[in-house]
């Protein structure tokens, strides 16, 4: 059963994983491109796995509590999956339909990086999945589907994309694993920073996310927070296999610092104000009482509300859906930023 860990993008940040002391020291206090470059230097040069070793690795990285394969294309969180695979005995082989066997899914297809190492065996975007569903997904990009042409038994969908700015055929996994996949994509554009410019991916242009893809992945990251499964997987990959980590599992707030709407806004790291979510908006409490102006953005960078106020507390009435938000507070010549998830 998948347990989601709720988290707030507030300071001080709570680390979700277990990196060794000092692992992320070179990245502290950075934002935007400087942060991504620092993270690249930290996670670069990992131990490269042989393709054949992925089968045994999955036995540790993707094992359910009941010892079956944790297949994101067939799992039903908090429910009963239509089928489950057993390690070794259900490894493909031939198959002719769903539930026959599992194989190795490159969630970022091999053709998008020309099948080159070390991307081809990087566990942070490789998962064991139902071979038939994997085949139906093929090399289609991830997206959101309104009218599916095909639906798997766990609800994954193939069909025309209806996400704003996206067109053509896409594959949509179930919501419980969208954040996992998004954080894997953010990892790839960090670990392989500097070489992605030649990758022929339909979700990239000149090595960076297309606007619709970036916005959608930010949405998925916010809507499906880091889970216990991801934390355990991150730790196992680091300790037993590659010797590097996915920083966006350890520090989910860094996604917004690099790709979010205020990534280039200078931040003053301070606990001088906090954000509380209410049933009908948000409330700001701060340690100062002078005149201040507040701006509230969603994960796409859309400005949702502005307010000028004095005093130590202010409420902003607004109906907010679940997702990531950013508060920018300007006061007395200084600017501070807080991120939170509703």
* 3-state SS, residue 162: coil
Co-location of 238 and 292 in the same domain: no
Is residue 167 assigned to a domain? Answer: yes
| Residue-wise pLDDT tens digits, 158-197 | 999 999 999 999 999 999 999 999 999 999 999 999 999 9
Is residue 105 assigned to a domain? Answer: yes
C-alpha torsion 22→25→28→30, nearest 10: -150
Residue 7 has pLDDT above 70, yes or no: no
User: Which of 206, 229, 259 is the last residue before a domain boundary?
Assistant: 259
Is residue 6 assigned to a domain? Answer: no
- CA 229 to each of CA 30, 176, 232, 308: distance values in angstroms, whole numbers, following the listed order: 28, 11, 5, 42
User: Which of 259, 285, 302 is the last residue before a domain boundary?
Assistant: 259
Q: Which domain holds residue 289?
A: 273-341
Compute the Cα dihedral for 123, 129, 135, 141 and give only its sign. negative
Co-location of 46 and 76 in the same domain: yes
Co-location of 102 and 242 in the same domain: yes
Residue among 283, 280, 286 at smallest CA distance from 330: 286
Are the C-beta atoms of residues 87 and 109 closer than 8 Å to each other?
Answer: no
Residue 4 has pLDDT above 70, yes or no: no
Co-location of 133 and 201 in the same domain: yes
Match 């942060």 to its residue by tokens.
Answer: 35
d(Cα 327, Cα 338) in Å, to the nearest integer?
A: 5
pLDDT band at 290 (very low <50, low <70, confident <90, very high): confident
Is residue 265 assigned to a domain? Answer: no
Is residue 202 assigned to a domain? Answer: yes
- Give pLDDT, residue 264: 54
Q: Which two tokens stand for residue 19?
A: 């990196």
Q: Which two tokens stand for residue 166?
A: 């996206």
pLDDT band at 338 (very low <50, low <70, confident <90, very high): confident
Co-location of 202 and 294 in the same domain: no
């Amino acid at each position: 059963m998948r347990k989601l860990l709720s988290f707030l993008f507030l300071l001080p940040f709570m680390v979700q994983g277990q990196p060794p002391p000092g692992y992320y020291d070179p990245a502290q206090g950075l934002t935007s491109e400087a942060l991504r470059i620092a993270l690249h230097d930290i996670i670069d040069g990992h131990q490269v796995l042989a393709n054949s070793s992925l089968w045994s690795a999955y036995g540790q990285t993707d094992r359910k509590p009941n010892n079956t394969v944790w297949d994101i294309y067939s799992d039903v969180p908090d429910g009963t999956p239509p089928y489950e695979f057993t390690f070794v005995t259900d490894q493909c082989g031939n198959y002719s339909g769903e539930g026959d066997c599992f194989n190795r899914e490159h969630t970022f297809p091999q053709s998008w990086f020309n099948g080159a190492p070390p991307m081809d065996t990087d566990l942070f975007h490789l998962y064991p999945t139902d071979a038939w569903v994997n085949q139906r997904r093929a090399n289609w990009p991830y997206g959101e589907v309104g009218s599916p042409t095909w639906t798997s038994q766990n609800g994954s969908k193939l069909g025309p994309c209806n996400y704003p700015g996206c067109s053509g055929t896409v594959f949509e996994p179930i919501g419980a694993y969208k954040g996992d996949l998004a954080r894997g994509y953010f990892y790839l554009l960090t670990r392989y920073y500097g070489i992605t410019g030649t990758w022929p991916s339909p979700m990239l242009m000149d090595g960076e996310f297309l606007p619709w893809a970036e916005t959608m992945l930010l949405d998925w990251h916010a809507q499906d927070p880091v889970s216990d499964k991801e934390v355990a997987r991150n730790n196992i990959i680091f300790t037993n296999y590659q010797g590097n980590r996915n920083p966006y599992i350890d520090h989910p707030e860094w996604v917004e610092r690099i790709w979010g709407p205020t990534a280039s806004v200078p931040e003053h790291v301070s606990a001088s104000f906090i954000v509380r979510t209410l049933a009908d908006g948000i409330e700001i409490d701060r340690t100062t009482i002078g005149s201040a102006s507040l701006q509230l953005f969603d994960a796409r960078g859309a400005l949702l509300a502005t307010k000028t106020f004095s005093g130590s507390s202010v409420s902003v009435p607004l109906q907010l859906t679940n997702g990531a938000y950013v508060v920018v507070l300007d006061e007395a010549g200084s600017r501070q930023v807080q991120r939170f998830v509703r």
